[in-house]
Amino acid sequence: MNYFSSQFKLGILGGGQLGKMLLNVTRKFDITTHVLDANEEAPCRIACNQFTKGDLMDFETVYNFGKQVDVLTFEIENVNVDALEKLEKEGIKVYPSSRNLRVIQNKAKQKLFYLDHNLPTSNFSRFAYASEIEDAVLNGGLEFPFVRKSAQFGYDGNGVKVVRSLADLKGLPPGECIAEALIDFKNELAVIVARSLNGEIKTYPVVEMEFHPEANQVEYVICPARISAEVAKKAQEVALQVSQAFNHVGLLAVELFQTKNDDILINEVAPRPHNSGHQTIEASYTSQFEQHIRAILNLPLGQTENKVGGIMVNLVGAEGYTGDVIYENIAEIMKMEGVTPHIYGKKQTRPFRKMGHVTIVHEDLNTARQIAEDVKNTIKVISK
Cα gap 347→353, rounded to integer Å: 11
267 annotated to a ligand binding site: yes
- pLDDT tens by residue, 202-259: 999 999 999 877 766 788 999 999 999 999 999 999 999 999 999 999 999 999 999 9
- Longest distance between any two alpha carbons in the chain, whole Å: 64
User: Do the domains 9-94 and 123-181 sit in the same CATH topology, yes or no?
Assistant: no
The answer on pLDDT for 163 being more than 90 is yes
pLDDT band for position 131 (cuts 50, 70, 90): confident
The answer on pLDDT for 49 being more than 90 is yes
> How confident is the model at residue 103, as a pLDDT?
97
Cα gap 149→306, rounded to integer Å: 33
The answer on pLDDT for 129 being more than 90 is no
**CATH class label, 9-94:** alpha beta
pLDDT band for position 1 (cuts 50, 70, 90): confident
- The Cα-based distances of 26 to 20, 90, 105 in angstroms read 10, 25, 26
233 annotated to a ligand binding site: no
Nearest to 49 by CA among 26, 72, 66, 28: 26
Cα gap 146→42, rounded to integer Å: 36
149 annotated to a ligand binding site: yes
- pLDDT tens by residue, 293-322: 999 999 999 999 999 999 999 999 999 999
84 annotated to a ligand binding site: no
> How confident is the model at residue 321, as a pLDDT?
98
Q: Which CATH superfamily is domain 185-383 in?
A: ATP-grasp fold, B domain (3.30.470.20)
The alpha carbon of residue 137 and the mean position of all alpha carbons in its chain are separated, in whole angstroms, by 32
Average pLDDT over residues 358-378: 97
pLDDT band for position 154 (cuts 50, 70, 90): low
Task: Break the chain into its structural domains and give their ranges.
Answer: 9-94, 123-181, 185-383
Mapped onto helix, strand or coil, the DSSP state of residue 140 is coil
Cα gap 208→229, rounded to integer Å: 13
Cα gap 205→220, rounded to integer Å: 16
- pLDDT tens by residue, 179-207: 999 998 999 999 999 999 999 999 999 99
Strand 146-150: give its sheet, edge to edge.
124-127, 177-181, 146-150, 160-163
Q: What is the pTM of this model?
A: 0.95
188 annotated to a ligand binding site: yes
As a whole number, the mean pLDDT across the chain is: 95
Residues 6+ positions from 348 with CB-CB distance below 8 Å: 322, 323, 324, 325
pLDDT band for position 159 (cuts 50, 70, 90): confident
pLDDT band for position 349 (cuts 50, 70, 90): very high
> How confident is the model at residue 196, as a pLDDT?
98
Contact 328, 377 (CB under 8 A): no
Q: Which CATH superfamily is domain 123-181 in?
A: ATP-grasp fold, A domain (3.30.1490.20)
For CA atoms 284, 286, 289, 295, the dihedral sign is: negative
Average pLDDT over residues 139-159: 83
Cα gap 19→13, rounded to integer Å: 8
85 annotated to a ligand binding site: no
The answer on pLDDT for 155 being more than 70 is no
The answer on pLDDT for 79 being more than 70 is yes
86 annotated to a ligand binding site: no
* Residue 331: Cβ-neighbour burial (10 angstroms; 0-12, 13-18, 19+): exposed
> How confident is the model at residue 157, as a pLDDT?
56
- pLDDT tens by residue, 97-124: 999 999 999 999 999 999 999 999 999 9
Q: What percentage of the chain reaches a pLDDT higher than 90? A: 90
